[in-house]
Amino acid sequence: AAIGLVLKAGQDLLGVAQSVLSNRVNYNGLLRVRCDLYRKLQALDLDYHRSRPQGDAIHRLSSDTFGFQAILGTVVATVVAVATFAAMAVVLGSRSPALTAIALSVAPPLAIANVVFGRRLKARSIECKERDAEFTSAVQQSIASVGLMQAFGREAHEFARFQGTVRETIRSWWRLNRQQMAYTLIIGMLFGAAGAAVFGYGGYLVYRDQFLRPRPGGMTVGDLMVFTSYLGMIWGPLCTLTGFAANAHGGAAGAERVFEVLDRNPAVADRLDAVPLPVRPRTLEFEHVGFEYPVAGPRASANAEGNSGPDEEDSSRGVLRDVSVRVRPGESVAFVGASGAGKSTLLNLIPRFYDPTAGTIRLDGVDARAVKVEDLRRHVALVLQDSALLPSTVAENIAYGRPGASREEVREAARMAGAAEFIERLPGGYACPVAEGGANLSGGQRQRLNIARALLTGAPIVVLDEPTSALDPHHEHFVTESLRGLKGARTVVIVSHRLSSVVHCDRIYVMDGGRIVEEGTHEQLVARRGLYHSMAALQMLPDAVAGHGGGQVRAA
């Protein structure tokens, strides 16, 4: 009774210690792994993110990171199992070495079963994780495009697709379950056989010592009962010890997917010898810049499906070719040209979302790849075509790039972007919450908030991709005038199909097929009667085409 009580109390105390320890290790580990993974995802280049569904990153962060918990839990349980196993082996061995040896004879086949099933279970678990990640992506994509689905009446099709994804997920879980069931069955049979052997041999010892050749101190029924009741206390830890591989399999599958990201080197990162670059106005220079997207990108494959113009069909050639441009501090330049000419790609190279595959981009003569990425990006205020708005207040969205900005600075940026008026009409004004993706704002309002956000950063180079595409003529004129007002103070690089937004620029570069084919002021380009002239003729009144400030004529 006393030994039993001590053992029970010891086992329970060890159990509590195990829980405390494993929870501590698990939660701290989860925190660390999630933070590391998030930082890595933040650092990975746009190409990585664009070539994978968002759901993949979500699944890795939310579910796969638990893999480490499972592994750490197994490690902690194994440490505790070693202690329990050693104590129980001594206790049982002192009662009956022969029966203990029989009880432990289960260990070798147990270990073999665990190695064999460990491998299979891991393979199946990886498959399950991948299917689960696809499922998360499918849900994320279909919910994000629910409006499109409803507008085109594709609910049935999308439902069938969704159902297919769920079926695939469940099929892979079934495959895993089958292996788990087979594993449980084999382990159960092994212990069943070992239990029978212990009982059989123990029964024989009792029969021998009590009836056949009675001897004092021989095995009694009571001894056998005590021994068998302790069996569970040695087999439990034994299972944990030999089952390390099988127990860790699920966790290992998740952990492998996490490591896949953690071990990845971002295509754009600080070089070891990267130099700091204090923020101030600098000459921006593109020197024979060429660029090609990596082949596996989704947009590249969309092009390969043949839905693009003739210029876009030849994927073997560069998106940008031999682009040389020099923009001095305070100048404003514009890039115009047909859709797919490479204008947005060129803008993406400035903050190093991608690195050029040929040539160099320089700031004051320093190769952009040689400076710290953070410093380089602090030189640039960006308004992209698909700039996101966050689910916080209007003021917080505007101040995103400069969180310490005063209320007056936020208001001034909004005023310059032509956003002040509509913001003041919103319920709560600057404190009005913006819905996810800016869903409670119009396209033009979102665009103006993005412009305000960029202007507020105070970065010396303002880069705008189609900043006025969603604006009415009145607001387009307003924004254009604000950008004009930046002349001399900030460098403005703008891409626009609306020539009225760029007529005032110091230089306009016309792009075609990744090359700059014309350059000059609006008047010079109109007079040249080339590509720019035909674009201007399509967009503007004939007298404006003649070069009398088309922007103002159109806006008026």
Q: Indicate the burial class of 3 (C-beta count within 10 angstroms; 0-12, 13-18, 19 or more).
A: exposed
Element (H, E) at 291: strand 284-291
Of 410 and 495, nearer to ligand ATP (C-beta) is: 495
Output the smallest distance, CB 39 to ligand ATP, in A: 23
Measuring CA to CA, which residue among 541, 444, 464 is closest to residue 505?
A: 464
Of 122 and 343, nearer to ligand ATP (C-beta) is: 343
Q: Which residues contact 273 (CB under 8 A, 6 or more apart)?
A: 370
Check if the beta carbon of residue 480 is closer than 8 Å to that of residue 504: yes
Of 49 and 280, nearer to ligand ATP (C-beta) is: 49
Of 141 and 228, nearer to ligand ATP (C-beta) is: 141
Encoded tokens for 26 = 């698990």
Give the count of beta carbons closer than 10 Å to the beta carbon of residue 380.
Answer: 22
Encoded tokens for 410 = 């936020």
Of 254 and 342, nearer to ligand ATP (C-beta) is: 342
Ranges of H-type helices in 152-207: 155-207
Output the smallest distance, CB 342 to ligand ATP, in A: 5
Dist CA 352 CA 376 (whole Å): 8
Output the smallest distance, CB 512 to ligand ATP, in A: 10
Encoded tokens for 513 = 């097929």
Output the smallest distance, CB 116 to ligand ATP, in A: 44
Output the smallest distance, CB 343 to ligand ATP, in A: 4
Residue with tokens 């432990």: 104
What is the DSSP track for 210-226?
IIIS--TT---HHHHHH
Output the smallest distance, CB 66 to ligand ATP, in A: 32
Of 116 and 358, nearer to ligand ATP (C-beta) is: 358
Of 283 and 385, nearer to ligand ATP (C-beta) is: 385
Q: Which residues contact 84 (CB under 8 A, 6 or more apart)?
A: 11, 14, 233, 234, 236, 237
Dist CA 65 CA 53 (whole Å): 18
Binding stretches for ligand ATP (CB under 6 A): 50, 293, 297, 299-300, 303, 312, 319, 339-345
Encoded tokens for 218 = 């021989």
